[in-house]
C-alpha cells in the first residue's frame, strides 16, 4: 500500500483518535501524512484540491461528530466544502471518492486505522480499474 | 523577458510622469498608496526592481490607466510581466477563495484528464458535431460549484448564449475536454500554468478540426484572441465574440414586460476592445430592456473590483460597493453583466457588508436575452 | 497582424516585421549586419 | 553619337605627393595617351594652380582640344574651377570630366602602389570614355515675374507682405476670412511683454490694407497653382461678400436693420452678430459683409432691409464669386494653424460642462473688446470665478487623441493668462496642472517667476477626468500631484483647457495645390530643417509662421522676414540661371504613357495621356535627378550630363580588363559620393577593386546599366544613395528601392543570385560606413566564382535572344 494520503485532522476528537492509535502501537502506512488543524470548518475546497494537485492520491478529512464540535460549527461548513471538492473533482473527470470525510468519536484509535486502511484500499481498487480500462481503450 | 524588453514592449519609456493614470485608477481611489505611475517609474529606474514591490498585486487590470495615458503605456501588461518576474523570483501568492480556482486551473492543465464538460447542458441545445466552429464555454460550470453559496447560476448565461446561437441558426460544436483559457493564471504571472492550458486547448481544437471559436465570456475572448497568438505555440484559430455574430441581431425579441436595466461593461470587452455597442444592442433590442446608464459607463465604466482571484480585500469591496451604489442610483430593475466574473463579484459584494445593496438583481445579459426570446416564442 | 518578411542579401538572415498599414516606404536595415541590401520576400 | 573630331586632352595631377606618393602618375599619363581619341596626355604637379590651368588653356589652343579630362581630386572639390578654366579657353564648361584619383585612389590605397596605379589608369579610362560622349550644355535661363503671392493674412502673412512691399515688390495678399488679422487679432495680450495684441497688430493691418504695393484679397481662396519658380500662375477665388469693400465706410446701418442674429465666431459664440456684420471693429478691409448662409435675402420673400438702408449703395445681394488669375514669381505660404478641438478628449468634459472652456475662449472673456467687456465671468451663472484651473497639454504630447508634438505656446500663454487674472482679480486662486513648464524664450522665465510670485499654484500632474457638481456647477478634479505622489482633489469655479495647436484643416488641400510635402505632423516640410528652414523643397515657394510648426508671434514675424529675404533673391533678379543637368525627352520614342510624370518628385513632367502628344519637361522645375529617365521603358528620356550612352561607356571602360576582379559601384552625388570623399580625406583604407560611377541621384541608375555590368562579367554591383528620407531630390530614392526590388526578383528568375546586386544608403557623414561596405563587398565578391559569372553571361545572352525574337 503506497497510496499517498493526506489527512486533515481537527485538533479535538480527530487528533485524539490518531493519538490513541499511536499509544496503542497500531501501525498505519508511512505514506499517510497527517496535518493538524484547529477545526475542520477552517478547511475549504481549495485546500483539499491543492493537496490533490500537489500529488496526493486521496484526502481524508478527520473530525468530530457534528454535535461534538468544540467550536460550535457543527460541521456545516466542512460538508459544503467537502461537497464542492467532490463536485469539482467529477467536473474534472476525476473520481470524487478521492476525498473522504470521516467523523469519529474521541479516542477511537481502531476506527482511525480502519478508516485509513479502507480508504487506501478503495483508492487502490479505483486505480486498478482505471489502469485496466485505460489499457483497453 | 528582462526589464529592458518589458519596458520596450509596454512602451513604458514614453511615460511622461503626468499622473493621469493614478488619478483615474479605481484602486487608488480607495488605496492612496497604489499608483500605476510609481510602479512604472520604479520599473524604469536603474534598480528596475519594481517586481518585488508588493503593490503590483493590487492592480485589478481594468485598463483605465492605459485608456487615459498619452502614450498608451500598457500598464496591465507591465503589471503582468512584473508578476511573472516576481514569481520567478520565488514570490508565493495569497489567493482568495482558498486558492480553489488556481488548483482547478492547474488540474485542468494536466494532459491526461477527462472532464465532464456537458453534464449541465440542457437537452434542447443543438450541437453540431463535428464542425469547424466551436462555442467556447469557459469556466461557468466550475464557478457554479465553487460559488454555490452565492446562489449564482453562471451556466444560465452560457446556455443563454448557446440558445441565441441556436435560434440564429449558427451551428457550433462543443469541446469534450475544453480547458480554462488561462486568463487568470496569466494575469497572476503564472506563465507555466497558462501555457499548460493553452497547449492542451491547441491539441483539442486541432484534433477536432476547429477553425473558429465563438465565445460569450469577455475574458476568454481577450485571452484567446490576444494572448494565445502571442504565447501559445501552434495557435491558429479565428476568435469572435458572440456580439460579433450579425445573425444574432436579426432575432426579434422584446416580448417581455419592459424592464429597466443598468448595464455593467466588462473591462475586457469595454476598455480593451472598445466593444460597447453590441452588448447594449442585445440588451435593448433582444432583451427589450430600457437602458439606464450608470454614472461611470462605457469607457469610464468602473471595474467589478477584482480580477484574477487574488487579494479580495477592503479596497476591492469598496470598488464593488461604489459600483452597486451607481447601479442603485439609476433605479433600474436589473443590473446586467456580460461577464461571469463581474456577476460573481458584484453578487458577492451585494450579499456582504451591511446588505444595503442586497436587493439589486444581477443577471447575465445572454440569459436575459434568451429568456425574452423564448417567452415570445412560447 | 500582417507581417512582412525580409532577407538580408549581405549576411543572409531572414526576419519579419509588422507590416505598415499605410504601406509607406521605409528604410530597411538588417538587424544583424545593418546592411540596406534587404529584400522584401513575396508572401508565401 | 561619337563625333569624328573628338579631341581629348588628359591632365594628370600629382597633387604634390598626395597623388604621386602612391600612384605612378607617369604610367597613368602614358596609359591615357594610348586611349583612342586622346590627343594629349600630360602630367602636372598642381593642375589647379595657375600654371596648371594655364597649361590646360595653352594645350586647348595648341591641339584644338574639345574634351578635357582632369585626373586629380574629387569633382566636389574643383569641378567648378576647371569648368571656369576651360570656358575661358572657349570650350563649353560641360565638356569637362574629372577623374578622381585622389579621394578615390591615392589616399585610400596608400600601401598598394601597383593596384593603385592600375586603378588610377582605370579611373582615367572611365572618365575619358564619358568625356568622349559629352555634349555642350547650356544653362537654363528663367525670366522672373516681379510679384509675390502671400497666402494667409495672419501676423506672419501681414509682416511678409509689408516687408516685400516696402522693398518695392508687388504683393498679392490672399486671406480666406473676411478680414486679415488671423488668430493674433483674437488674443487679448501677448507674452512675454503683456502688450495688447490688437493694439500692436491693428496698425500693421491698416498698413497692409493701404500699402500701394499690396493688393489685399480678403475673403478669397487660392484654387489653382500652375507654373514654377519665377513664373507661377495662380487662380484665386474672390468670394462674393455682397458689399463693395472699397465703397463701404462701415457705418454699420446695415447691421442695425438686419433681422438675423447668429453666434459671433470672433467671440467664440459668447456673443451674437447679425447676418450683415463686420468681423471685428478693427477689421481690414474695414468693410461689412453679408453672411449669405444666414441672410434672408436668398429667400423668395426678400428681406432686403440692408440694401435700402445703405446710403452709399454698396450692397449687392446678387454679387457672385470671381476667379482672378495672378502671375507671380514667388509664393509665401502663411496660412497658420488651427487650435486643437478638445471635444475628442471628453474626460475633460468640454462638451458636457459649461464652465470648462478653452484658452481661446478665455482670451475673449478677459479681453476688453470681448463679449463681457473684459469682465471675467463664468458661463453658467455670469459670476466672477474665484477658483480657476488650467490643464496644460490638452491635445499635445500624446498619441492618444491629439498630437504627438509640443505645441510650443501653451505654457507661456497660460502663464500670461494667470497674470492677467491676477491683475484684474487679485484674490483669485489659480491652479495650473502641468507636466513640464517650457519657458524657453527671451523673457519667458521672468514671466513664469512673476506668476509664481503672484501666488499661482503650479501642480505637477494632470487630472485623469473631470466631474461637475450638478448643483453648484463647479468643476471637480482629482489629480495626482506627482511631486508629492499624493492624489489631491480640487473644486474649481471654472476650468480652462490649454489646448494645443494643429495644422490648418485645409493645409493638405493647399499642399496638393502647391505640390509641397507635409511632415508626419501635418505641417509644411522644409527643404532642409537647418539650412533652408523657410524654403519648401519646391523652388520659389517659402513659408512663414505656424504653417511650418506651432510658433508664437515673435517667431512667426522672424520667419516672415526670413522668407521675404529668401524671396527677394528671386524677385530682385531678372533671370535666374539653372543647372544644366535636366531631363530631355526624345519625342520620337515617347509613348505618352505617363510613368515619368508619376515618379517625378517635382511635378516637372507634363504628359497628356489622352492626346498622346509626348511628355514635356518644365525646365525650371526639373532638378535633374533622373528618376524619370530610369523609369522610362522606351529610352525616351535622358539626362543632360548623365546620358545613357555616357554611363554605358563608363561601364564598358570599367570592366574592359579583368572584370571578374572588379566591383562596379554607382554613387549618388550628394550622399554616397560625398561619403567616399570623406573616406579619402580621412585616409581610410579599403580594397582597390572598386570602380565608381557618379550619378546625381541613385534614382538615375537604369536597370539597363545594371544588366550591362553583369553582361560584361561584373561579379558584384553596388547601388547606393542617400538614406530614405534624406534624398536630395525629395523622394527620388524611393524609385531606387523599388527598382532594386524589381531587379532582385528578375535576377532570381534568371538564376542569378540576387546577392550580387547590393543596395546601401550611405550619408555624406558616413565615411567609416562607406569603408566598411567596401570591405564587405570585397568579401562578397570573393564568393562569386568564375563559373557563376559565365552562367550569368549565358543567361543574359539567352534573354537578349528571346527579346530579339519577340521583337
Q: Which DSSP symbol is given to B302?
A: P
pLDDT tier at D438, thresholds 50, 70, 90:
very high
Q: Looking at residue D348, what is its pLDDT?
A: 95
pLDDT at D507 over 70: yes
Last residue of a domain, one of B247, B271, B305: B247
For residue D231, count other CB atoms closer than 10 A to its CB.
18
pLDDT at D497 over 90: yes
- The answer to whether residue B242 is domain-embedded is yes
pLDDT at A136 over 80: no
Last residue of a domain, one of B247, B267, B301: B247
Rounded CA-CA distance D172/D610 in Å is: 36
- Burial annotation D688-706 (CB, 10 A radius, 16+ → b, else e): bbbbbbbbbbbbbbbeebb
Residues B15, B78: contact at Cβ < 8 Å? no
pLDDT at D20 over 60: yes
Helices (H), D644-683: 644-654, 672-681
Chains within contact range of chain A (3+ C-beta pairs < 8 Å)? B
Does residue D630 sit in the same domain as residue D658? Answer: no
Residue found under cell 511622461:
B16
Rounded CA-CA distance B297/B294 in Å is: 6
For residue D508, count other CB atoms closer than 10 A to its CB.
11
Nearest to D632 by CA among D666, D584, D693, D689: D584
Q: Looking at residue D76, what is its pLDDT?
A: 86
- 3-class DSSP string for C1-44: CCEEEEEECCCCCEEEEECCCCCCCCCCCCCCCCCCCEEEECCC
Count up the domains in chain D and report the number.
6
β-pair partners for D323? D237
Count up the domains in chain C and report the number.
1
Q: 3-class SS at D204? A: helix
Q: Looking at residue C1, what is its pLDDT?
A: 62
Interchain pair D400, B72: CB under 8 A: yes
Rounded CA-CA distance A47/A56 in Å is: 12
Interchain pair B98, A47: CB under 8 A: yes
β-pair partners for D227? D232
- 3-class DSSP string for D522-549: CCECCCECCCECCECCCCCEEECCCCCC
Does residue D78 sit in the same domain as residue D59? Answer: yes
Residues D619, D582: contact at Cβ < 8 Å? yes
Q: Looking at residue A132, what is its pLDDT?
A: 62
- The answer to whether residue B376 is domain-embedded is no
Average pLDDT over residues B135-141: 95
Nearest to D621 by CA among D550, D694, D537: D537
Does residue D186 sit in the same domain as residue D99? Answer: no
Residue found under cell 492618444:
D400
Residues D60, D89: contact at Cβ < 8 Å? yes
Kindly report the CA angle at B102 between B101 and B108, in degrees rounded to 5? 90
Average pLDDT over residues B219-239: 94
pLDDT at C43 over 90: no
For residue D454, count other CB atoms closer than 10 A to its CB.
15
- C-alpha cell of D638? 535622358
Residue D461, domain CATH: 3.50.50.60
Does residue D408 sit in the same domain as residue D527? Answer: no
Does residue B200 sit in the same domain as residue B62? Answer: no
Closest CA of chain B from A48, distance in Å: 8
Residues B95, B59: contact at Cβ < 8 Å? no
Q: Looking at residue D391, what is its pLDDT?
A: 97
- Tell me which residue in B16, B24, B38 faces D464 most closely, judged by beta carbons: B24
Average pLDDT over residues D300-321: 87
Cα-Cα-Cα-Cα torsion D69, D70, D74, D76, nearest 10 degrees, comes to: -70
Interchain pair D741, C35: CB under 8 A: no
CA B363, B367, B369, B371 torsion-angle sign? negative
- The answer to whether residue B15 is domain-embedded is yes
Does residue D796 sit in the same domain as residue D661? Answer: yes
For B237-291, what is each residue's pLDDT tens digit?
999 999 999 999 888 765 556 789 999 999 999 999 999 999 999 998 887 889 9
Which chain B residues touch A44 with a CB distance below 8 Å? 97-98, 100
Nearest to B17 by CA among D345, D396, D480: D480
Domain, as residue range, for A27: 5-136
Average pLDDT over residues B142-151: 92
Closest CA of chain D from B310, distance in Å: 25
β-pair partners for D97? D69
| Cα–Cα distances in angstroms (integers) from residue B27 to residues B33, B316, D661, in the given order | 9, 7, 71
Does residue D649 sit in the same domain as residue D731? Answer: yes
Last residue of a domain, one of D115, D138, D161: D138
Closest CA of chain A from B186, distance in Å: 18
Residue found under cell 529617365:
D629
Interchain pair C40, D741: CB under 8 A: yes
Rounded CA-CA distance B81/B4 in Å is: 12
- What average pLDDT is seen over chain B? 91
Does residue B229 sit in the same domain as residue B267? Answer: no
Strands annotated E in A15-98: 32-37, 58-63
Last residue of a domain, one of B215, B247, B279: B247
Which chain D residues touch B25 with a CB distance below 8 Å? 464
| Cα–Cα distances in angstroms (integers) from residue B206 to residues B116, B134, B200, in the given order | 20, 12, 10
Closest CA of chain C from D725, distance in Å: 8
Does residue B187 sit in the same domain as residue B56? Answer: no
For D69-117, what is each residue's pLDDT tens digit?
999 999 988 998 999 999 999 999 999 999 999 999 999 999 999 999 9
Q: ω before B371 within 30° of 0 (cis)?
A: no
Q: What is the ipTM of this complex?
A: 0.84
pLDDT at B116 over 60: yes
Rounded CA-CA distance D284/D219 in Å is: 11
Is D426 exposed, middle or buried, given 0-12, 13-18 or 19+ CB atoms closer than 10 A? exposed
- Burial annotation D81-106 (CB, 10 A radius, 16+ → b, else e): bbbebbeebebbbbbbbbbbbbbbbb
Residues D526, D514: contact at Cβ < 8 Å? no
Which chain B residues touch D478 with a CB distance below 8 Å? 23-24
- Tell me which residue in B21, B35, B72 faces D485 most closely, judged by beta carbons: B35
- Tell me which residue in B107, B115, B119 faces A49 most closely, judged by beta carbons: B107
Query: Is residue A56 less than 8 Å (CB to CB) from chain B?
Result: no
Q: Looking at residue D504, what is its pLDDT?
A: 94
Note the Cα B239 to chain centre separation in Å.
Answer: 15
Closest CA of chain C from D21, distance in Å: 34
- Tell me which residue in B102, B104, B114 faces A88 most closely, judged by beta carbons: B104
Residue D55, domain CATH: 3.40.50
Nearest to B39 by CA among B26, B58, B24: B58
| D541-543 and D356-358 beta bridge pairing | unpaired
Residues 6 or more apart whose CB falls under 8 angstroms from that of D627 comprise: D599, D600, D601, D697, D699, D700, D729, D732, D735
Q: Looking at residue C4, what is its pLDDT?
A: 87
Which chain B residues touch D485 with a CB distance below 8 Å? 35, 38
Rounded CA-CA distance D129/D419 in Å is: 74
- The answer to whether residue B377 is domain-embedded is no
- What average pLDDT is seen over chain D? 93
Rounded CA-CA distance D694/D126 in Å is: 11
For residue D404, count other CB atoms closer than 10 A to its CB.
14
Neighbouring C-alpha atoms within 13 Å toward the C-beta of D434: 19
Interchain pair D761, C37: CB under 8 A: no
Q: Which DSSP symbol is given to B93?
A: P
D357 membership: H or E segment, kind and range: strand D356-358
pLDDT at B48 over 70: no
Rounded CA-CA distance B196/B106 in Å is: 8
Q: Which DSSP symbol is given to D309?
A: H
Query: Is residue B206 less than 8 Å (CB to CB) from chain D?
Result: no
Chains within contact range of chain B (3+ C-beta pairs < 8 Å)? A, D
Which chain B residues touch D393 with a CB distance below 8 Å? 18, 70
Domain, as residue range, for D282: 240-317
For A57-110, what is each residue's pLDDT tens digit?
999 999 999 888 888 777 678 899 999 999 999 999 999 999 999 999 999 999
Q: Looking at residue C22, what is its pLDDT?
A: 75
Does residue B172 sit in the same domain as residue B202? Answer: yes
For D247-295, what is each residue's pLDDT tens digit?
999 999 999 999 999 999 999 999 999 999 999 999 999 999 999 999 9
Average pLDDT over residues D754-778: 94
pLDDT at A130 over 70: no
Interchain pair A92, B113: CB under 8 A: yes
Domain, as residue range, for C18: 3-41
Does residue D306 sit in the same domain as residue D328? Answer: no
Residues in chain D whose Cβ is within 8 Å of chain C: 723-725, 734, 737-738, 741, 744, 754-755, 757-761, 773, 776, 780
Residues A39, A63: contact at Cβ < 8 Å? yes
Residues in chain B whose Cβ is within 8 Å of chain A: 95, 97-104, 106-108, 113-116, 119, 141-142, 145-146, 148-149
Count up the domains in chain A and report the number.
1
Does residue D656 sit in the same domain as residue D790? Answer: yes
For D659-696, what is each residue's pLDDT tens digit?
999 999 999 998 899 999 989 998 999 999 999 999 99
Domain, as residue range, for B284: 252-369
- Tell me which residue in A45, A46, A90 faces B116 most closely, judged by beta carbons: A90
Note the Cα A29 to chain centre separation in Å.
Answer: 14
Chains within contact range of chain C (3+ C-beta pairs < 8 Å)? D
Interchain pair B115, A50: CB under 8 A: no
Residues 6 or more apart whose CB falls under 8 angstroms from that of D621 comprise: D228, D229, D538, D539, D602, D603, D604
Amino acid at each position: 500500500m503506497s497510496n499517498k494520503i493526506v489527512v486533515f485532522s481537527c485538533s479535538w476528537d480527530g487528533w485524539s483518535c490518531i493519538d490513541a492509535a499511536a499509544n496503542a502501537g497500531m501501525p498505519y502506512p508511512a505514506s499517510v501524512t497527517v496535518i493538524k488543524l484547529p477545526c475542520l470548518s477552517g478547511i475549504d475546497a481549495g485546500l483539499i484540491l491543492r493537496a490533490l494537485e500537489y500529488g496526493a492520491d486521496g484526502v481524508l478529512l478527520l473530525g468530530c461528530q457534528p454535535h461534538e464540535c468544540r467550536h460550535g460549527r457543527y460541521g456545516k461548513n466542512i460538508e459544503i466544502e467537502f461537497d464542492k471538492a467532490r463536485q469539482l473533482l467529477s467536473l474534472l473527470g476525476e473520481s470524487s471518492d478521492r476525498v473522504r470525510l470521516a467523523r469519529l468519536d474521541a479516542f477511537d484509535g481502531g476506527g482511525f486505522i480502519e478508516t485509513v486502511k479502507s480508504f487506501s484500499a478503495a483508492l487502490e481498487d479505483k486505480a486498478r480499474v482505471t489502469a485496466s480500462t485505460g489499457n483497453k481503450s | 523577458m528582462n526589464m529592458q524588453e518589458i519596458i520596450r514592449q509596454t512602451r513604458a519609456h514614453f511615460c511622461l510622469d503626468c499622473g493621469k493614470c493614478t488619478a483615474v485608477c479605481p484602486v487608488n481611489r480607495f488605496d492612496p498608496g497604489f499608483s500605476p505611475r510609481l510602479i512604472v517609474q520604479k520599473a524604469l529606474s536603474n534598480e528596475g526592481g519594481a517586481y518585488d514591490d508588493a503593490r503590483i498585486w493590487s492592480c485589478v487590470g481594468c485598463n483605465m490607466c492605459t485608456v487615459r495615458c498619452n502614450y498608451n503605456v500598457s500598464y496591465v501588461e507591465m503589471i503582468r510581466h512584473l508578476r511573472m518576474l516576481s514569481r520567478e523570483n520565488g514570490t508565493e501568492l495569497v489567493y482568495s477563495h482558498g486558492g480553489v480556482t488556481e488548483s482547478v486551473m492547474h488540474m485542468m492543465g494536466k494532459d491526461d484528464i477527462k472532464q465532464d464538460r456537458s453534464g449541465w447542458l440542457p437537452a434542447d441545445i443543438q450541437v453540431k458535431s463535428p464542425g469547424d466552429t466551436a462555442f467556447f464555454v469557459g469556466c461557468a460550470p466550475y464557478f457554479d460549484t465553487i460559488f454555490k453559496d452565492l446562489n449564482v447560476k453562471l451556466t444560465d448565461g452560457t446556455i443563454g448564449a448557446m440558445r441565441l446561437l441556436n435560434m440564429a441558426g449558427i451551428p457550433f460544436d462543443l469541446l469534450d475536454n475544453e480547458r480554462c483559457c488561462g486568463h487568470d493564471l496569466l494575469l497572476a504571472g503564472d506563465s507555466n500554468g497558462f501555457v499548460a492550458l493553452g497547449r492542451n486547448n491547441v491539441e483539442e481544437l486541432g484534433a477536432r478540426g476547429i477553425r473558429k471559436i465563438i465565445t460569450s465570456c469577455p475574458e476568454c475572448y481577450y485571452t484567446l484572441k490576444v494572448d494565445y497568438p502571442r504565447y501559445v505555440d501552434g495557435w491558429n484559430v479565428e476568435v469572435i465574440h458572440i456580439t460579433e455574430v450579425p445573425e444574432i441581431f436579426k432575432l426579434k425579441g422584446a416580448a417581455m414586460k419592459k424592464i429597466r436595466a443598468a448595464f455593467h461593461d466588462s473591462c475586457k470587452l469595454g476598455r480593451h476592445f472598445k466593444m460597447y455597442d453590441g452588448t447594449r444592442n442585445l440588451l435593448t433590442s433582444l432583451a427589450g430592456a430600457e437602458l439606464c446608464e450608470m454614472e461611470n459607463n462605457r469607457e469610464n465604466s468602473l471595474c467589478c473590483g477584482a480580477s484574477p482571484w487574488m487579494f479580495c480585500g477592503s479596497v476591492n469591496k469598496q470598488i464593488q460597493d461604489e459600483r452597486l451604489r451607481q447601479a442603485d442610483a439609476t433605479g433600474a430593475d436589473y443590473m446586467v453583466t456580460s461577464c461571469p466574473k463581474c456577476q460573481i463579484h458584484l453578487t458577492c459584494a451585494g450579499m456582504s457588508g451591511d446588505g444595503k445593496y442586497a436587493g439589486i438583481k444581477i443577471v447575465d445579459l445572454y440569459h436575459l436575452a434568451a429568456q425574452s426570446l423564448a417567452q415570445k416564442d412560447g | 497582424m500582417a507581417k512582412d518578411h525580409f532577407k538580408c542579401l549581405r549576411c543572409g538572415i531572414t526576419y519579419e516585421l509588422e507590416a505598415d498599414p499605410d504601406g509607406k516606404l521605409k528604410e530597411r536595415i538588417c538587424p544583424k549586419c545593418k546592411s540596406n541590401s534587404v529584400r522584401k520576400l513575396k508572401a508565401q | 553619337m561619337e563625333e569624328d573630331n573628338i579631341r581629348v586632352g588628359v591632365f594628370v595631377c600629382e597633387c604634390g605627393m598626395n597623388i604621386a606618393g602612391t600612384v605612378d602618375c607617369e604610367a597613368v599619363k602614358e596609359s591615357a595617351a594610348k586611349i583612342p581619341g586622346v590627343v594629349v596626355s600630360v602630367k602636372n604637379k598642381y593642375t589647379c594652380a595657375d600654371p596648371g590651368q594655364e597649361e590646360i588653356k595653352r594645350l586647348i589652343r595648341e591641339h584644338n582640344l574639345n574634351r578635357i579630362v582632369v585626373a586629380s581630386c574629387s569633382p566636389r572639390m574643383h569641378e567648378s574651377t576647371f569648368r571656369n578654366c576651360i570656358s575661358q579657353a572657349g570650350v563649353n564648361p560641360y565638356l569637362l570630366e574629372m577623374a578622381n584619383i585622389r579621394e578615390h585612389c591615392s589616399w585610400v590605397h596608400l600601401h598598394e602602389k601597383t593596384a593603385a596605379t592600375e586603378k588610377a589608369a582605370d579611373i582615367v579610362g572611365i572618365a575619358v570614355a564619358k568625356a568622349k560622349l559629352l555634349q555642350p550644355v547650356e544653362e537654363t535661363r528663367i525670366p522672373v515675374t516681379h510679384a509675390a503671392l502671400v497666402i494667409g493674412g495672419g501676423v506672419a502673412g501681414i509682416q511678409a507682405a509689408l516687408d516685400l512691399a516696402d522693398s518695392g515688390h508687388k504683393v498679392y495678399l490672399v486671406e480666406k476670412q473676411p478680414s486679415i488679422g488671423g488668430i493674433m487679432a483674437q488674443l487679448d495680450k501677448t507674452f512675454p511683454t503683456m502688450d495688447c495684441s490688437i493694439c500692436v497688430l491693428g496698425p500693421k493691418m491698416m498698413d497692409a490694407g493701404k500699402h500701394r504695393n499690396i493688393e489685399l484679397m480678403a475673403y478669397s481662396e487660392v484654387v489653382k497653382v500652375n507654373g514654377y519658380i519665377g513664373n507661377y500662375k495662380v487662380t484665386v477665388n474672390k468670394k462674393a461678400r455682397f458689399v463693395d469693400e472699397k465703397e463701404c465706410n462701415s457705418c454699420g446701418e446695415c447691421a442695425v436693420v438686419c433681422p438675423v442674429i447668429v453666434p459671433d465666431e470672433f467671440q467664440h459664440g459668447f456673443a451674437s452678430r447679425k447676418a450683415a456684420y463686420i468681423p471685428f471693429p478693427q477689421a481690414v478691409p474695414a468693410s461689412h459683409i453679408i453672411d449669405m448662409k444666414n441672410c434672408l435675402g436668398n429667400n423668395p420673400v426678400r428681406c432686403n432691409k440692408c440694401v435700402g438702408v445703405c446710403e452709399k449703395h454698396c450692397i449687392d445681394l446678387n454679387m457672385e464669386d470671381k476667379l482672378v488669375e495672378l502671375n507671380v514669381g514667388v509664393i509665401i505660404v502663411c496660412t497658420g494653424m488651427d487650435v486643437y478641438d478638445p471635444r475628442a478628449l471628453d474626460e475633460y468634459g468640454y462638451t458636457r460642462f459649461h464652465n470648462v472652456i478653452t484658452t481661446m475662449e478665455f482670451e475673449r472673456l478677459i479681453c476688453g473688446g470681448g463679449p463681457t467687456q473684459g469682465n471675467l465671468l463664468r458661463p453658467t451663472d455670469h459670476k466672477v470665478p474665484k477658483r480657476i484651473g488650467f490643464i496644460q497639454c490638452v491635445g499635445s504630447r500624446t498619441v492618444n487623441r491629439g498630437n504627438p508634438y509640443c505645441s510650443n505656446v501653451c505654457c507661456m500663454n497660460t502663464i500670461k493668462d494667470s497674470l492677467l487674472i491676477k491683475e484684474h482679480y487679485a484674490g483669485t486662486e489659480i491652479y495650473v496642472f502641468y507636466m513640464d513648464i517650457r519657458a524657453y524664450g527671451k523673457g519667458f522665465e521672468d514671466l513664469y517667476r512673476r506668476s509664481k510670485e503672484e501666488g499661482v499654484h503650479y501642480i505637477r500632474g494632470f487630472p485623469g477626468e473631470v466631474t461637475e457638481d450638478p448643483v453648484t456647477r463647479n468643476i471637480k478634479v482629482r489629480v495626482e500631484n506627482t511631486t508629492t505622489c499624493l492624489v489631491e482633489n480640487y473644486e474649481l469655479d471654472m476650468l480652462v483647457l490649454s489646448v494645443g495647436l494643429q495644422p490648418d484643416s485645409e493645409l493638405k488641400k493647399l499642399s496638393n495645390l502647391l505640390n509641397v510635402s507635409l511632415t508626419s505632423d501635418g505641417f509644411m516640410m522644409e527643404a532642409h530643417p537647418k539650412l533652408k528652414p523657410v524654403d519648401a523643397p519646391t523652388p520659389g515657394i517659402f513659408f512663414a509662421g505656424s504653417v511650418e510648426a506651432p510658433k508664437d508671434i515673435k517667431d512667426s514675424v522672424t520667419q516672415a522676414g526670413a522668407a521675404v529675404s529668401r524671396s527677394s533673391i528671386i524677385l530682385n533678379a531678372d533671370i535666374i540661371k539653372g543647372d544644366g543637368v535636366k531631363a530631355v525627352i526624345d519625342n520620337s520614342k515617347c509613348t505618352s504613357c505617363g510613368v515619368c510624370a508619376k515618379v517625378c518628385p517635382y511635378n516637372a513632367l507634363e504628359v497628356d495621356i489622352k492626346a498622346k502628344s509626348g511628355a514635356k519637361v518644365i525646365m525650371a522645375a526639373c532638378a535633374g535627378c533622373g528618376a524619370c529617365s530610369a523609369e522610362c521603358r522606351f529610352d525616351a528620356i535622358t539626362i543632360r550630363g548623365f546620358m545613357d550612352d555616357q554611363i554605358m561607356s563608363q561601364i564598358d571602360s570599367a570592366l574592359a580588363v579583368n572584370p571578374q576582379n572588379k566591383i562596379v559601384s554607382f554613387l549618388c552625388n550628394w550622399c554616397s559620393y560625398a561619403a567616399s570623399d570623406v573616406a579619402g580625406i580621412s585616409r581610410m583604407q579599403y580594397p582597390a577593386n572598386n570602380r565608381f560611377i557618379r550619378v546625381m541621384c541613385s534614382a538615375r541608375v537604369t536597370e539597363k546599366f545594371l544588366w550591362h555590368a553583369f553582361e560584361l562579367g561584373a561579379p558584384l554591383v553596388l547601388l547606393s544613395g542617400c538614406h530614405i528620407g534624406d534624398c536630395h531630390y525629395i523622394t527620388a530614392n524611393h524609385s531606387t528601392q523599388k527598382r532594386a526590388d524589381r531587379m532582385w526578383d528578375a535576377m532570381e528568375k534568371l538564376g542569378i543570385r540576387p546577392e550580387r546586386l547590393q543596395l546601401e544608403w550611405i550619408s555624406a557623414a558616413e565615411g567609416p560606413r562607406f569603408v566598411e561596405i567596401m570591405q564587405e563587398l570585397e568579401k562578397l565578391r570573393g564568393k562569386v566564382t568564375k563559373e557563376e559569372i559565365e552562367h550569368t553571361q549565358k543567361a543574359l545572352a539567352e534573354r537578349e535572344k528571346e527579346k530579339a525574337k519577340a521583337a
